[in-house]
A and B are shown apart, each in its own frame.
Chain A
Amino acid sequence: MSNKKTKECNDMILCRIWQVLKKPSVKYSLGTLLVVGFISGIVFWGGFNTAMEMTNTEEFCISCHEMEDNVFEEYKETIHYSNRTGVRATCPDCHVPKEWHHKVVRKIQASNELLHKALGTIDTREKFEAKRLKLASHVWETMKKNDSRECRNCHNFEFMDFGEQGRRAINSHSKALDTGKTCIDCHKGIAHELPDMHDVDPGSSIGDI
């Protein structure tokens, strides 16, 4: 039976590789195979994670001018970049999930961003501004769905001392806690400029004059 299959395989490379893989090893001991497999597993897995973490740095994010000239410049004026204590939240702290499986899902989604980088969808300020509402809406929607998960890596209602907050913050945060609101419901545009808000909240934008 196996002879018959091998014969069929003669002119197909993939099929021949499969035949070799299927056969038990005659040359190497089970121990060697296990040890080599184990070590190369660590190396490959470590390499994969290291490569993924390299894409999780601010330096990597702003290596594209689309990010460096637009959102990064805007972020530099905000409290998450410069503040009293010098603690910073960099791009991936807010835009890449911490948990591994969420992170991998986000990284796979990012392939779409690579495509649009290649297409030059937002390669000028004007193109970026035209797309800003759509792009911002995606982020708002995601954060609304996951209860502002990335904010909560640092900010959490449970550990907020309302007594230390200002009058307005106490009011808003107590109300938000009671009504089950999430951070992004109010805190839009805290790290980047807002898009034209006329369609989102007509009262808070002048619109077309």
Chain B
Amino acid sequence: MMKKITTITVLLATVVISMQAISETVSSLRGAHDIEQDSSAPAPKRYAKDNEPIARDYVQQPPLIPHKTTNYRINLKSNKCMSCHSWSNYREAGATKISQTHFESRDKNVLANVSARRYFCTQCHVPQVNAKPLVENAFEPVTAISGQ
């Protein structure tokens, strides 16, 4: 009799616990969704079309791109960014010119043109969308460069 009661209790407990486990949802940064349920797609973010240059937040930060770069191609044949930011074009385009540090080879040899290791601009420089940070943080820009 005792044995039967124990078995039933254990079985019931197992059922209750497993039901709880099923009803529990996975909570991620995207929100809580049942595994079987389709999560809604986030609204597409749009790149900031055209703004003034953005101040740097820390020393050595690659300056952010304050404009849209959709369909700007960078390949061996041509680099769309350089049609405005190169030394020969920046004056006419009214753009920020590419830094002199980008004309150096890995061995610090000075080159006549932009170095191959600096050629793919968007490896470091990125356009911006108005997206709220997913995780709260207390980051403060360095006052020495932000002037705040």
A202: interface (CB < 8 Å): yes
Q: How would residues 193 to 209 of chain A score, 1 for a CB under 8 Å from any chain B CB and 0 otherwise?
A: 11111100111111101
Q: Which of A78, A171, A207 contacts B94 (CB under 8 A)? A: A171
Looking at A78, A168, A169, the one whose CB has the most chain B CB atoms below 10 A away is A168
A110: interface (CB < 8 Å): no
Question: Chain B interface: which size bin?
Answer: 20 to 34
B113 and A206 contacting across the interface, CB-CB below 8 Å? yes
B15 CB to closest chain A CB (Å) equals 54
**How long is the Cα–Cα vector from A171 to B67 in the complex, in angstroms?**
14
B77 and A196 contacting across the interface, CB-CB below 8 Å? yes
A167 and B52 contacting across the interface, CB-CB below 8 Å? yes
Our count of residue pairs bridging A and B at CB distance below 8 angstroms stands at 69
Q: Which residues of B contact A78 (CB under 8 A)?
A: 71
Which residue of chain A is the closest to B119 with respect to CB atoms?
A206
Given contacts A189-B73, A201-B88, contact A206 B114 (CB under 8 A): yes
A134 CB to closest chain B CB (Å) equals 14
A209 and B116 contacting across the interface, CB-CB below 8 Å? yes
A204 and B86 contacting across the interface, CB-CB below 8 Å? yes
B51: interface (CB < 8 Å): yes
Q: Which residues of A contact B116 (CB under 8 A)?
A: 206, 209
Q: Which of B51, B71, B83 contacts A204 (CB under 8 A)? A: B83
A77: interface (CB < 8 Å): yes
Q: Which residues of A contact B79 (CB under 8 A)?
A: 204-206
B27: interface (CB < 8 Å): no
Q: Which of A166, A194, A197 contacts B67 (CB under 8 A)? A: A166
A181 CB to closest chain B CB (Å) equals 10
Q: Is the interface of A mostly helix, strand, loop or mixed?
A: loop
B83 and A167 contacting across the interface, CB-CB below 8 Å? no
Q: Which residues of A contact B73 (CB under 8 A)?
A: 189, 193-194
User: A residues 161-184 with Cβ under 8 Å of B?
Assistant: 166-169, 171-172
**How long is the Cα–Cα vector from A194 to B79 in the complex, in angstroms?**
9
Given contacts A197-B78, A201-B89, A206-B76, contact A166 B49 (CB under 8 A): yes
A54: interface (CB < 8 Å): no
**How long is the Cα–Cα vector from A165 to B16 in the complex, in angstroms?**
63
A33 CB to closest chain B CB (Å) equals 60
- Excluding A196-B78, A198-B77, A205-B76, 15 further A-B contacts by CB distance (< 8 Å) are A167-B67, A189-B73, A193-B75, A193-B77, A195-B78, A197-B78, A201-B82, A201-B89, A202-B88, A203-B87, A204-B82, A204-B83, A204-B86, A205-B77, A205-B79
- Name the 4 nearest CB pairs between A and B, nearest first: A166-B50, A203-B86, A204-B82, A194-B78
Give 29 A-B contacts (CB < 8 Å), ordered by A residue. A78-B71, A166-B50, A167-B51, A167-B67, A168-B50, A168-B93, A169-B50, A171-B94, A189-B80, A193-B77, A194-B77, A196-B76, A197-B77, A197-B78, A198-B77, A201-B82, A201-B83, A201-B89, A202-B113, A204-B78, A204-B79, A204-B80, A204-B89, A205-B76, A205-B77, A206-B79, A206-B113, A206-B114, A206-B119
